Amino acid sequence: MNSRAAELAVEDLTVTHGRRPAVHHVSFRLAPGQMMALVGPNGAGKSSLLRAIAGLHGAAEGRIRCAAPVALLPQANSLDRSFPLTCRDAVLFGLWNEAGGFRPIARPERAIAALEAVGLAGFANRPVGSLSAGQFQRVLFARLLLQDAPVILLDEPFNALDARTAADLLRVVRRWHGEGRSILAVLHDLDLVRREFPSTLLLAREVIASGDTAQVLSAENRMRARMMAEAWAEDAAPCERAAA
């Protein structure tokens, strides 16, 4: 595994859908080796923020600075598993940036080792469409292992998992943290956040608070985020600066 440390800096970032902001003038820093939770009400822009950092959604304004590769674990329920793909091939997609669409993959047996590392020994030839939700999430974690990125973005990594799978994958996240990687994870379980993540970013399309988890998750901050969410209007005017 690659233990390079990297800082991620998000500066005055606005991400829009149809020129309406999903996140609005957001700034924060993820220090090298930092483990940060990203929390907020539904519709707060958490997934949009991760996708923008990963380069999958353009920024309307602001910039993202990171001198190292970034790996994203998307929400599992956003992926189509009907395509006839084996677990091994799904994991090998983690090497796309290394091999591209035409070059042969060096040491493809690394996919087998990655599957074994997440508790899926013997699953290499299983179709992904035959897996349970927990097994498929393990495959996605194995793909991240192959990407070997210094900055890791996790979008609801433990959602709808059984306790054993969640505990196993949490151990993988702890190992990444121990290797000095920077981790930003969207989470809804605030008890887990308080227990495992020293830093937290509370988002409600704008940054409500960022820093020490205990302070960020104060009752006052959580109430402010909820009140902002209740005031959102789907027919609100576009962000004037983004639309300019």
Q: What does pLDDT average to over the chain?
A: 90
* pLDDT score recorded for residue 238: 63
Percent of the chain having pLDDT more than 90?
Answer: 76
β 35-39/206-212 pair status: unpaired
Query: Does the pLDDT value for residue 1 go beyond 50?
Result: no
> Where does the chain have alpha helices with state H?
46-53, 87-92, 96-99, 110-117, 133-147, 163-178, 190-196, 213-216, 219-230, 240-243
Query: Does the pLDDT value for residue 64 go beyond 70?
Result: yes
* pLDDT score recorded for residue 4: 59
Radius of gyration of the chain (CA): 18
β 70-73/61-66 pair status: unpaired
- Return the structure tokens found at 30: 């993820």
**Over the stretch 95-146, which tens digit does the pLDDT of each residue have?**
866 554 445 455 668 899 999 999 999 999 999 999 999 999 999 999 999 9
Band (83; pLDDT cuts 50, 70, 90): confident
Q: Are 219 and 71 in contact (CB under 8 A)?
A: no
**Over the stretch 181-235, which tens digit does the pLDDT of each residue have?**
999 999 999 999 999 999 999 999 999 999 999 999 999 999 999 999 988 866 6
Tell me the C-alpha distance between 162 and 44, whole Å. 26
Which pTM value belongs to this model?
A: 0.90
Tell me the C-alpha distance between 64 and 54, whole Å. 10
Q: What is the mean pLDDT of residues 5-25?
A: 90
